[in-house]
Each structure stands twice: as structure tokens, then as C-alpha cells.
């Protein structure tokens, strides 16, 4: 049984009369200019209809609607809907106690929804309330633009979102996800990071050459210019070069030249 039925009963029980429809209509598309006074009034009517607390509604209310990021439908919490485009509504829901890591039917958190829609400020707000990015979060960033990241950032906002997601990360993770801005900032603060190794003995260059997201080519070139050692081996004896595919021949040649210079 879906959340809708759990809250309001089966179809045909006067569901269409509930103010929830007003809440959904205000948030499901074009919600940048939501009238907060009207939204709060509709939410209060909804609270009276259901007898639930504001915290319960902020956490549990969902709608079975067309999925905004794929085919079919999905049950979306009100926080997921707001995370598409309205920071003020997200802040209001969080203040009422909405669970920041609640997942929808497709397994997305509000953070992943915000990242998908390139909502940098909402991403930052959700992270400030304890939401943490995982691999799926980075992969979904900017996909609402139809972008399959293969050769740099097609839209500037995408890198801005990834930069926020990486705000607490180290250079290895930033290099892997192709975030040029983050890698550059870290190197400016500490140039020695270019040679730093993780627990597997891998340098940022090892991570960058495996990447396929964002501006991975720019990151590789930045690391090379910054003095990355192309001959550095991981704990397993692996060099960065073998990870490069044939599609990266130019970068491979640059790395091979750097490797020769380091001998």
C-alpha cells in the first residue's frame, strides 16, 4: 500500500477534496516562485484533515506522480518535490523535522534530487543538515540536462554542484569525479598534495585517469603541470598510464613523456 493510501485511505474516499492536491500542484514543476503563505495555509489544512503533526507530514506525506527524472511514476515525499527547485520550502520542511535522508521509490534521497536538478544552494543546505553524498549522487548531478559527462562540463552549473558535493572531500575523490575547480583549489592551498597517496598507495593521478565524469581531461593535465609523477606506483605496483583508454591517446602521450622526464 502506498503512502497516499496509508494517509488518506483508498481511492474514492474524497481524496480529491484534500488540500494535498494544492500542495502538490504548487511544488510539482515551476516551484521557484512558490507563494509560501499559500503553501503554509494548504499544509495547515492538510494537517487538520489528517490529524497528523507538521513533523509527521513533512516526513511522511508523499504523492504518486510522474517521475520527474525518468519513466514511469514514483512516490515522492514533499521534501523530494521541493528539492527540485525551492530552497525556502526545503528550509521550512527541514525546520519542521523532515528526514533529510528519506529515499523515494527509486532509492533517491532529496540530496540526489537536488543534485540532479543542479540546485547548488539546496545541495549545500541538505548537506549542512547531515545528508552525505555517495557515488550515485555524483553520477546524477546535472543529468536533468540530458548530460552524459564524457568530455568536460556541458553546463557550468553542473561543476558548481559537484564542487559543493566535494566540499569536504580530499584531492583523490575530486580528481576521480573530474572537478577541476576543487582540485585546483586544493593544490593552491597545498601543492604537495599532487604526490599524496591514499590507503592503496594511489596518487590523485591514478584516480583522475580512471575517471569519465566532468572535466577529467582538464584535471589530468592540471596534475601533470603541477608535477604529478607518472611513474609513481600504487601498492599493487600499478602505474597511472595503463588505466587510460585508447580514447585518451593525447593524455597518454603526455603521461608517457612525463614518465620519461621523471626517470
User: How confident is the model at residue 78, as a pLDDT?
Assistant: 84
Place of cell 604537495: 192
User: How confident is the model at residue 15, as a pLDDT?
Assistant: 40
Task: Please check the confidence at residue 12 and state whether its pLDDT lies above 50.
Answer: no
pLDDT in tens, 127-159: 999 999 988 888 888 665 544 444 444 455 677
Task: Please check the confidence at residue 196 and state whether its pLDDT lies above 90.
Answer: yes
Stated pTM of the model: 0.72
pLDDT in tens, 13-66: 334 445 667 777 777 655 667 788 888 888 888 888 888 888 887 776 555 554
CA 47 to chain centre: 31
Cβ(3)–Cβ(61) below 8 Å: yes
Phi, psi (degrees; rounded to nearest 5) at 64: -95, 100
Cβ(179)–Cβ(198) below 8 Å: no
- Beta carbons within 8 Å of 162's beta carbon, 6+ residues apart: 138, 141, 142, 177, 178, 179, 182, 214
Task: Please check the confidence at residue 124 and state whether its pLDDT lies above 80.
Answer: yes
Cβ(32)–Cβ(85) below 8 Å: yes
Residue 99: how many other CB atoms lie within 10 Å = 19
User: How confident is the model at residue 45, as a pLDDT?
Assistant: 84
Phi, psi (degrees; rounded to nearest 5) at 243: -75, -15
Q: Name the percent of the chain lying above pLDDT 90.
A: 25
Angle at 97 between CA 102 and CA 160, to 5 degrees: 60
Task: Please check the confidence at residue 69 and state whether its pLDDT lies above 80.
Answer: no
Residue 131, sorted as left (phi over 0), alpha (psi -120 to 50) or beta, turns out to be beta
User: How confident is the model at residue 214, as a pLDDT?
Assistant: 78
Task: Please check the confidence at residue 170 and state whether its pLDDT lies above 70.
Answer: yes
User: How confident is the model at residue 81, as a pLDDT?
Assistant: 84
| Residue 170 or residue 104, greater confidence | 170
Q: Which domains does the chain have, with CATH numbers?
A: 3-131 (1.25.40.20), 166-261 (1.25.40.20)
The residues pairing with 77 across neighbouring beta strands, listed in sequence order, are 62
Task: Please check the confidence at residue 95 and state whether its pLDDT lies above 80.
Answer: yes
CA 208 to each of CA 40, 145, 189, 214: distance values in angstroms, whole numbers, following the listed order? 47, 24, 19, 11
Amino acid at each position: 500500500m502506498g503512502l497516499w493510501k496509508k494517509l488518506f485511505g483508498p481511492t474514492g474516499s474524497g481524496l480529491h477534496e484534500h488540500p494535498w492536491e494544492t500542495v502538490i500542484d504548487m511544488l510539482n514543476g515551476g516551484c521557484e516562485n512558490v507563494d509560501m503563505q499559500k503553501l503554509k495555509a494548504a499544509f495547515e489544512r492538510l494537517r487538520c484533515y489528517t490529524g497528523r503533526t507538521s513533523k509527521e507530514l513533512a516526513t511522511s506525506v508523499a504523492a504518486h506522480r510522474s517521475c520527474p527524472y525518468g519513466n514511469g511514476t514514483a512516490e515522492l515525499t514533499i521534501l523530494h518535490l521541493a528539492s527540485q527547485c525551492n530552497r525556502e520550502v526545503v528550509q521550512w520542511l527541514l525546520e519542521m523535522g523532515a528526514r533529510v535522508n528519506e529515499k523515494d521509490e527509486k532509492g533517491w534521497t532529496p540530496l540526489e534530487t537536488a543534485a540532479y536538478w543542479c540546485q547548488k544552494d539546496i545541495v549545500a543546505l541538505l548537506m549542512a543538515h547531515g545528508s552525505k553524498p555517495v557515488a550515485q549522487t555524483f553520477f546524477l548531478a546535472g543529468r536533468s540536462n540530458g548530460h552524459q559527462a564524457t568530455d568536460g562540463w556541458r553546463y557550468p552549473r553542473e561543476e558548481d554542484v559537484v564542487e559543493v558535493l566535494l566540499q569536504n572531500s580530499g584531492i583523490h575523490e575530486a580528481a576521480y569525479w573530474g572537478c577541476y575547480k576543487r582540485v585546483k583549489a586544493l593544490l593552491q592551498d597545498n601543492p604537495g598534495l599532487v604526490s599524496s597517496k591514499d590507503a592503496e598507495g594511489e596518487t590523485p593521478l591514478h584516480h583522475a585517469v580512471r575517471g569519465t565524469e566532468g572535466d577529467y581531461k582538464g584535471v589530468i593535465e592540471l596534475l601533470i603541470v603541477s608535477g604529478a609523477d607518472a611513474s609513481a606506483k600504487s601498492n599493487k605496483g600499478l602505474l597511472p598510464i595503463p588505466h587510460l583508454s585508447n580514447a585518451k591517446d593525447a593524455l597518454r602521450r603526455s603521461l608517457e613523456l612525463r614518465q620519461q622526464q621523471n626517470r
